[in-house]
A and B are shown apart, each in its own frame.
Chain A
Amino acid sequence: MKRTAFLIIGATAAFAAMATAGTTTPDDVTFDDYGAVSASLTGVAGDAANGRKLFANRKLGNCLACHQNNDYLEQSFHGEVGPSLDGAGDRWNEAELRGLVSNAKNTFEGTIMPAFYRTSGFYRNMEKFDGKSILSAQDVEDIVAYLLTLTE
């Protein structure tokens, strides 16, 4: 009985790994001493146009809630909690931006900015978000590609 259950779990895990081959799980992301992540999370190039959509999506990036962004003037109410992201693509390279979006706490200790690619270490997380990251690995890559277009 026990053995069958184990086998089934094993099979599911293998399947999941296959389906997302090449994707780094949140717990396996390697940050350098400054919080940068040099390796792509998926190996698939980011889609900047999709990243732009995720940036304002309230259920996903919701970055506009805290950051002003002149590339988004069609939407009012840009947040002021974080710095303006105008020129972010000049100030940060791809690895740094990937680190910032995945878990900005490794770059800015104690920051209010949520970690978008993290699944562990939360306290009193709502059950429906247990084991889930706010963004998927490809979402992070897409947003990073978008941020790189924010140059002045």
Chain B
Amino acid sequence: MIGSNLLRVASIASIATFAFGTTAANAQSLVINDEETMIIQAPAAAHLENMDEVFSGWNFRTVETQALQMDDFDNPGMIFVDQAIDQWDTVDGAAGESCGSCHEGGTAEFAGLRTVLPRWDEDAGGIQSMADYINECRTERMQAEAWTWSSSKMTAMTALIGLESRGMPVDVVIDGPAADAWELGKEIYYTRVGQLDMSCANCHEDNYDTMIRADHLSQGQINGFPSYRLKNAKLNSTHARFKGCMKNIRAKPFGEGSDEFRALELYVASRGNGLSVEGTSVRN
């Protein structure tokens, strides 16, 4: 199946050489700012029963969309990262703190963090995502209000912190205390829901690399999140994307930040173990 995709990418490469003056090697691989090479194809982790290889969603986008992610000046998601940089030093809440006043080493302190999230957290007694850690700082340390999961400030801050792990392979832990949530996530992934009666796997495992009307189906990986979508011109959280896919199949979605979506996030992240964190990806 993916063979045809690689052929497509290869043929796209020659077009790209012409249209953008990039090298053929560039168009077949995702190199950002001519210096950071992303892993966009990797052997599937042992826990993936039905697939041999995993692919970043970038592979399945058009040359034009792919190009937007190859240079930070062209990547529209970076505008929001700039906003988060301002937010970082903005004092908010009754404690008179900003992110920067506690994290004196700057966002560089978080290099590698995005690769292991979401993860089991002993103190929280559950699976914690990047948004949970940000809100823990806001409510407990800053005495500021929590940001909702898909608010522009939250998606921007997750993008800024995620960028510190750009290029590093996703490596979430699925066993030990995380095992129960991972199993729940797996069950959700394979359960048919809604009036269209489909599971995530029906589209993203059984039929990736085919066209569903005008959409080229990817494996539904989340290594590129938060993701800038041309469709709504903003950064989108993983949970918002899950919700969107569930609504499309006329299923009652789980809530953003719900235990079910945290479990699904862990499971889907684990399907992409080995693919690079892309910082802020660009998708349709």
Question: Is there an interface contact between A124 and B210, defined as CB atoms closer than 8 Å?
Answer: no
* Minimum Cβ distance to chain B for residue A131 (Å): 10
- Residue B124 lies at the interface, judged by CB distance under 8 Å to chain A: no
State which residues 243-265 of B face A: CB under 8 Å: 246-247, 250-252
| Contact pick for B197, options A64, A77, A115, A126, CB 8 Å | A115
B252 & A124 in contact (Cβ 8 Å cutoff):
yes
Question: Is B196 in contact with A114, judged by CB distance below 8 angstroms?
Answer: yes
Check B252–A125 contact: CB distance below 8 A: yes
CA distance A58 to B250 in the complex (A): 13
Q: Which residue of the partner chain, among B207, B251, B252, contacts A112 with CB atoms under 8 Å? A: B207
A134 CA to B212 CA, complexed, in Å: 18
Q: Is the CB of B198 within 8 A of A122?
A: no
Closest approach, in angstroms, between the C-beta of A108 and any C-beta of chain B? 13
Whether A129 is near chain B, meaning CB under 8 Å from some CB there, is yes
Interface size on A, residues (CB 8 A): 23
Residue of A nearest to B196 (CB): A114
Name the residue of chain A whose CB is nearest to the CB of B201: A112
A125 and B194: CB pair below 8 A?
Answer: yes
Within 8 A of A (CB), among B172-224: 191-198, 202-203, 206-207, 210-214, 217
One of B197, B206, B211 near A114 (C-beta < 8 A): B197
Q: Which chain A residues in 89-133 approach chain B with CB under 8 Å? A: 112, 114-115, 122-127, 129, 132
**Chain A residues with CB under 8 A of B206:** 112
Asked if residues A126 and B211 are in contact (CB atoms below 8 Å), the reply is no
Tell me, rounded to whole Å, the shortest Cβ–Cβ distance linking B244 to chain A: 13
* Interface bracket on B: 20 to 34
Say if the beta carbon of A87 comes within 8 Å of chain B. Answer: no
The answer to whether B213 touches A64 (Cβ under 8 A) is yes
Cross-chain contact B212 with A79 (CB below 8 angstroms): yes
* Known pairs A79-B211, A79-B213, A129-B250; A123 contacts B191 (CB<8 A): yes
Q: Which residues on B are within 8 Å of A, measured CB to CB?
A: 191-198, 202-203, 206-207, 210-214, 217, 246-247, 250-252
**Could you write out 20 A-B pairs with CB less than 8 Å apart?**
A62-B213, A77-B211, A77-B214, A78-B213, A79-B211, A79-B213, A80-B210, A80-B212, A81-B207, A81-B211, A81-B212, A114-B196, A123-B192, A123-B193, A123-B194, A123-B251, A125-B193, A125-B251, A126-B194, A126-B195
Nearest first, the 10 closest Cβ-Cβ pairs linking A and B are A77-B214, A80-B210, A65-B213, A124-B193, A129-B195, A114-B196, A112-B202, A80-B211, A124-B252, A124-B251
Apart from A65-B213, A80-B212, A122-B194: 6 A-B pairs, beta carbons within 8 A: A58-B213, A77-B214, A122-B195, A126-B195, A126-B251, A132-B195
